[in-house]
Structure 1
Amino acid sequence: MDWDKLRIFHAVADAGSLTHAGDVLHLSQSAVSRQVRALEESLNATLFHRHARGLILTEQGELLFDATRAMTKRLDAAAARIRDSEEEVFGQLRVTTTIGLGTLWLAPRLPKLYEQYPDLNIELMLEERVLDLPMREADVAIRMKEPSQADLIRKRLMAVRMQLFASKEYLERNGMPASIEDIGEHRLVCQNTNAPQVGASSNLVGHLMTYDVKSTLMVNNYFGVLQAVANHLGIGVLPNYLSQDFPNLVRVLPDVQSVEVPVYLAYPEELRHSKRIAAFRDFVQEEIIAYRKQMRDQ
């Protein structure tokens, strides 16, 4: 169907008058009438009952008006999302990152962002799978490696290392290991090396397991590892950014850690001017700066 004819039909149905619809559309009454008749002919249906007091939709007209009303609402919503590129920060923002970083670092900081932008609606998509940003599976990503997809704007945020942590109570009961050789006498809490994760973590766990570790607890994400460590189950392999937000964790064997894992923020080139993206990007960068400062002061 011709969109111009549908647009004119919608205006007529909404106004209930050819004249009023013409005023809204800046068209003559005769031009509006011709377009409506042409649409009726193309559909082989009568869309309006015409009488002296105006126009009333027929049953077929009601069906078409429901459809054009839904289309108009979706177009208005799309226009609102486009406007936010130039005006206010509002609407939906789909953020993807890993379960660990999203649950343990990003989510606890989001209240500050909502305080600044209460009309923002964030959808956190937490999974290890890399979503396709150019195909708009998400709007913005925080990834534990440099994105390889084309047409992305990317910014390195920080570097993370996997380190060993335990609770004070666990160490009081079981003692602090003096060297890496002692790790075999403790329960190791970590992600399974076959689980989706950054290679640096898997490599560190593989290395630790060569020291004849007698007891392990394997979990498929860092949130589970943290909960086990916080409940005194053993020495856990966890990202170092947790030391800021969980002061009850005690660093174990400071010389034992993974290589650096770069953390990048990325979003599609087409969203370069989006106010929602800019607000989220600036917020994350400010939190990273605060995190780095606090880590230096510790």
Structure 2
Amino acid sequence: MKNWDDLRLFLAVAREESLSGAGKALRLDPATLGRRMARLEKDMQAALFVKSPQGYALTQAGEKLFERAGAVEQAMRSTAIEETAHSETLSGQIRLGAPDGCANFLLPQVCAAIGRENPALDIQIVALPRVFNLTRREADMAIGVSAPTAGRLVVRQVSEYRLHLAASEEYLNAHGPIPDLETLKSHPMVGYIPDMIFDRELDYLADLGAGRVALASNSVSVQLNMLRQSAGVGVVHDFSLPFAPGVRRILTEEVSLTRAFYLIRHVDDAKNQRLARFADLMAAGLKAEVARLEALSTEHERP
């Protein structure tokens, strides 16, 4: 096995699949990185990457080295945190991937609370509307809206959450009440961009038989702001409504959706007590925050 510095650079290129991406992550010039990879391939006497205009893809030899280097990286992480694993507070850096609805409306409160109790801990929230690749270490753990069935992952359901149709008071005052689903068909719909829905659990409008989406975004935060601007009717998370005064639920008896958040970790981190403690804090905080905000959303509708 080569020295750790070579492996560290190799892992970055393999994960980013490009010299430029790895160079940004490492703060290293891509040309220098390219020379280091060429030297590593010469030392290994094997091609580790297939280079193309699309980027760097691992060869079979590269995949084998990626596995071995990943194991070394994990061993070094475990060694580094061994002395502090049982300390009263958490420290270091933890990166959490999450869909943007969860990242915008739930995680700021949850992570702020964890941070106050663990002042030496750096928490990074990566909000992206897609599934995170934990194998390539895009994050230490991720929150998903469905339980993955493939990959070496540990998955736990954290909390269910509810969604309903909603529109702004201004929109409803201007266009009249929407008493049933048949009437709903004559109103412009706000929702996801159909070909950018990354998880079947998010295809709410298809389940309702809705056709054209007049205003669409891959971000639920943007969708909610469209509703606040009286753009039409859409499906919203109940936990987001306290952040959108003037938007209220409609047809709650006819349409009530339930989904769940899952906390996803790589199986290699199962014995990492530091990440396990953070995962427990995150799961408990997320569940409590969903319950708190959903209760607020119904309280605001009471006359």
Task: Report the secondary structure of 2:142's partner residue.
Answer: strand
**How far off its partner does 1:133 sit?**
2.0
Cα–Cα, structure 1 residues 283 and 97, in superposed 2: closer, same or farther, change >3 Å?
closer
**How far off its partner does 1:105 sit?**
2.3
Correspondence for 1:230: 228
Are the aligned partners of 1:204 and 1:257 in contact in 2 as well (CA < 8 Å)?
no
Aligned counterpart for 1:269 among listed residues 257, 267, 270:
267
Are the aligned partners of 1:161 and 1:260 in contact in 2 as well (CA < 8 Å)?
yes
Deviations 1:75-94 (A, max 9, x none): 99985444343334011101
Deviations 1:201-233 (A, max 9, x none): 3252464434xx6x8111121111011112222
**In structure 1, how many angstroms separate the alpha carbons of the residues matched to 2:250 and 2:295?**
19
Correspondence for 2:85: 85
Letter in 2 for 1:204: L
Cα–Cα, structure 1 residues 280 and 123, in superposed 2: closer, same or farther, change >3 Å?
same
Cα–Cα, structure 1 residues 102 and 289, in superposed 2: closer, same or farther, change >3 Å?
same
Cα–Cα, structure 1 residues 199 and 160, in superposed 2: closer, same or farther, change >3 Å?
farther
The share of aligned pairs that are identical, in percent, is 20
**How far off its partner does 1:122 sit?**
1.6
Letter in 2 for 1:116: E
Instruction: Report 1:24-39 matches (<5 A).
Output: none
**In structure 2, how many angstroms separate the alpha carbons of the residues matched to 1:101 and 1:294?**
12
**In structure 2, how many angstroms separate the alpha carbons of the residues matched to 1:199 and 1:151?**
21
Correspondence for 2:24: none
**How far off its partner does 1:264 sit?**
0.6
TM-score, with length taken from structure 1: 0.64
Task: Report the secondary structure of 2:248's partner residue.
Answer: strand
Deviations 1:146-182 (A, max 9, x none): 1224443321112234421112222222222001111
Structure 2: unaligned runs, 5 residues or longer: 4-74, 299-303
Deviations 1:240-286 (A, max 9, x none): 33235445421011134365323211212333333244134324323
**In structure 2, how many angstroms separate the alpha carbons of the residues matched to 1:196 and 1:107?**
24
TM-score, with length taken from structure 2: 0.63
**In structure 1, how many angstroms separate the alpha carbons of the residues matched to 2:241 and 2:249?**
8
Are the aligned partners of 1:141 and 1:267 in contact in 2 as well (CA < 8 Å)?
yes
Are the aligned partners of 2:115 and 2:121 in contact in 1 as well (CA < 8 Å)?
yes
Q: Which runs of 4+ in 1 moved over 6 A?
A: 75-78
**Aligned pairs, number:** 224
**How far off its partner does 1:234 sit?**
1.7
**In structure 2, how many angstroms separate the alpha carbons of the residues matched to 1:132 and 1:82?**
26
Letter in 2 for 1:95: L
**In structure 2, how many angstroms separate the alpha carbons of the residues matched to 1:295 and 1:161?**
8
Q: Verify: 1:253 aligned to 2:248, yes or no.
A: no
**How far off its partner does 1:99 sit?**
2.0
Q: Verify: 1:279 aligned to 2:278, yes or no.
A: yes
Correspondence for 2:301: none
**In structure 1, how many angstroms separate the alpha carbons of the residues matched to 2:97 and 2:107?**
11
**In structure 2, how many angstroms separate the alpha carbons of the residues matched to 1:113 and 1:181?**
46
Deviations 1:31-64 (A, max 9, x none): xxxxxxxxxxxxxxxxxxxxxxxxxxxxxxxxxx
